[in-house]
Chains A and B, each alone.
Chain A
Amino acid sequence: MSLVADNISLHLAGFDLLRNISLEVETGKVTAIVGPNGAGKSSLLKVLTGEMAATKGQVYLNNRLLQHWPLLDKAQLLAVLPQHTMLNFPFTADEVVGLGRIPHNTGLSKDREIITEALDLVDASYLQKRLYTQMSGGERQRVQLARVLAQIWQASHLGDQFLVLDEPTSAFDLSHQKLTLDIVRQLADKSVGVVMVVHDLNLAARCADNLVVIDAGVIAAQGSPEAVLTEALIDKVFGVKSIIAQHPETKRPLVIT
């Protein structure tokens, strides 16, 4: 099963934001989307999650048209972490994470258990009773990450699950960046399909099974990081001269600029 974008285009207010994009987010794999600012990465995520309807083309979740899924069923399969969340009400961290359990009917005690585990996983247990409005940017983002993790914490009988992350590491320090990548890998090992927008090419190269490069609304390249990341491509897409080396331990490509 998979989350599939089939030849989608998106026109908005006279602009071609996306053109003829076909993409498959497979379960058990991590798909990373990279590209320059304004290339259409976030728009692609919005179409993939049903937040915006494609002008042309279709999105399928587990072989069923995305818009045909009942909202509540879809919420049990697809969790989305936006780049920014405008929460300015003083919820505590465990209340925020608890919002991720809204689509489920697992009962209060099970939900509490999941909330505690999810906060623990993102290294935010100490925030449990703290108010969201008084947290730092990185703490907020970790709590939000825990929320979407709680949303797909247990496998669903409705089908395979997917996690969509829009720049999940943008506010994180080094250790939490690594933590996020580890969590994402664990989820993929539990056969969740993960798709994330990342800015740092090396981060993307390190975690992605499938790397998608978007430039001006079209897919410039996609495949394994080794195949996709070439000096010519980086020059063409980002306009930056670079050297592609190999990480001495992970053997993944390393972009040096």
Chain B
Amino acid sequence: MRHFSAPSLIWALAILLPVAALVSITVGTVDISLLDGLAALTGGSINSQTHTILIDIRLPRILLAITVGAVLASTGAVMQGLFRNPLADPSLIGVSSGASVGASLMIVTAGGFIKSGALLGLSLVAVGAFVGGFAATLLVYRLATSGIGTSVTTMLLAGIAIGALAGALNSLLSYFSDNDMLRQISLWQMGNLSGASWTKVIVMGAVALLLMGLFPRESKALNALLLGESEARHLGIDVQRVKRRLIVLTALGVGVSVALAGLVGFVGLIMPHIVRLAIGPDHRWLVPASALAGATLLVIADSLARIVVIPAELPTGILTALLGAPFFVALLLQQRRDV
């Protein structure tokens, strides 16, 4: 039996997300009251320091958390459907490992250049991560595609192979880097939203909107694909085209997320899984509900990241796993009781 109906879960999350975002605006090293927060958002008068903290630091950070969380969780839901495996995650297609190499390469080679070097307002590390992630996905996709189409199994294996290769390259780069670079690499790999800026928000927001606009068109196809590829074809789905589109969109979404926020783990794998346990696998509901849930989780995790070790901050990626894992275990235990 299902625990929630899909619309009620979506409504609950649609209310929870703005509430979490509002609360998130008030927390951090500097305490700001909810009233001041609302005043800044609506253009009211507050002192300029508070205004700067809210508009230039916290607001972009929260918006980045919302968009990154939504993109990671929705692409996770899509990949789990495409691979017909509830334990698949966006990194399976090689995008995370490729991005990791790209970022490390930039950190190690561009060295001192890194602070000043930028492209369209985005750091070289971000550009390197995106290029690396996209290139790795393309490679995995090409390896798995033959004359008769793309084999999902081969893609899984190719993703593992490319992941291993990327891991080796990463270790190699770490081996040749100095202490400062090492720290940068490992911090990047933990995933962090602290570098949020309006440029990043605009880029990430555009990608998130694109994905949210295009994923609903494929949700019926994804439902049919859960039956198997030939069954989906017999239901009139152009399976190869659907696969290509979803893989490109996922590579784009995860590539940009990873480029802007580093490797924020857990959201893409577990959020869709939790949502599926609650409302079932129908992608018409699963994808948007996962997006909302992922956004909410990341906003909460990032708020905590800002306050648990005041005046310092923790990388956000640590908090997502710390928050999500026990919740997931609790769900599994409950499911075990139900069966």
A49 at the interface (CB under 8 A from B): yes
The closest CB in chain B to the CB of A95 belongs to B282
A75 at the interface (CB under 8 A from B): yes
Partner of B228, one of A49, A82, A90, A151: A82
Of the listed stretches B39-47, B60-68, B158-166, B232-240, name the one at the interface; the rest are far from the partner chain: B232-240
Set of chain A residues within 8 Å of B230, measured between Cβ atoms: 51, 80, 82
| Most B Cβ at <10 Å: residue of A71, A76, A103 | A71
Asked if B280 contacts A92 (CB within 8 A), the reply is yes
A100 at the interface (CB under 8 A from B): yes
Partner of A71, one of B226, B228, B237: B237
User: How far is the CB of B226 from the nearest CB of chain A, in Å?
Assistant: 5
A155 at the interface (CB under 8 A from B): no
Mark A89-113 against chain B: 1 for CB-CB distance below 8 A, else 0: 1111001100110110000000000
Set of chain A residues within 8 Å of B234, measured between Cβ atoms: 49, 51, 75, 78-80
User: How far is the CB of A140 from the nearest CB of chain B, in Å?
Assistant: 12
Asked if A74 contacts B236 (CB within 8 A), the reply is yes
Asked if A87 contacts B223 (CB within 8 A), the reply is no
Mark B214-252 against chain A: 1 for CB-CB distance below 8 A, else 0: 000000100110111011011111100000000000000
Cα A74 to Cα B134 with chains together (Å): 36
Cα A131 to Cα B238 with chains together (Å): 27
Cα A82 to Cα B2 with chains together (Å): 28
A interface residues, how many (CB within 8 angstroms) = 29
Set of chain B residues within 8 Å of A75, measured between Cβ atoms: 234-236
User: How far is the CB of B284 from the nearest CB of chain A, in Å?
Assistant: 10
B interface residues, how many (CB within 8 angstroms) = 22
Asked if A86 contacts B280 (CB within 8 A), the reply is no
B167 at the interface (CB under 8 A from A): no
The closest CB in chain B to the CB of A84 belongs to B228
Partner of A102, one of B1, B2, B84, B223: B223
Set of chain B residues within 8 Å of A174, measured between Cβ atoms: none
The closest CB in chain A to the CB of B230 belongs to A51
Set of chain A residues within 8 Å of B1, measured between Cβ atoms: 129, 131
Asked if A99 contacts B233 (CB within 8 A), the reply is no
Asked if A51 contacts B227 (CB within 8 A), the reply is no
- CB-CB nearest 9 A-B residue pairs: A75-B236, A72-B236, A89-B281, A103-B236, A80-B234, A102-B235, A71-B236, A89-B226, A51-B230
Can you list 30 residue pairs at the A/B interface with Cβ under 8 Å? A51-B233, A71-B236, A71-B237, A71-B238, A72-B236, A73-B236, A74-B236, A75-B234, A76-B236, A78-B234, A79-B234, A80-B231, A82-B228, A82-B231, A85-B227, A85-B228, A85-B231, A86-B84, A88-B84, A88-B86, A89-B84, A91-B281, A91-B282, A92-B2, A92-B280, A99-B224, A102-B223, A103-B236, A129-B1, A131-B1
User: Which residues of A are at the interface with B, using a C-beta cutoff of 8 A?
Assistant: 49, 51, 71-76, 78-80, 82, 85-92, 95-96, 99-100, 102-103, 129, 131, 151
* Further contacts, 18 of them, CB under 8 A, given A85-B227, A86-B228: A49-B234, A51-B233, A73-B236, A80-B230, A80-B234, A87-B227, A89-B281, A91-B226, A91-B281, A91-B282, A92-B2, A95-B223, A99-B224, A99-B227, A102-B235, A102-B236, A131-B1, A151-B235
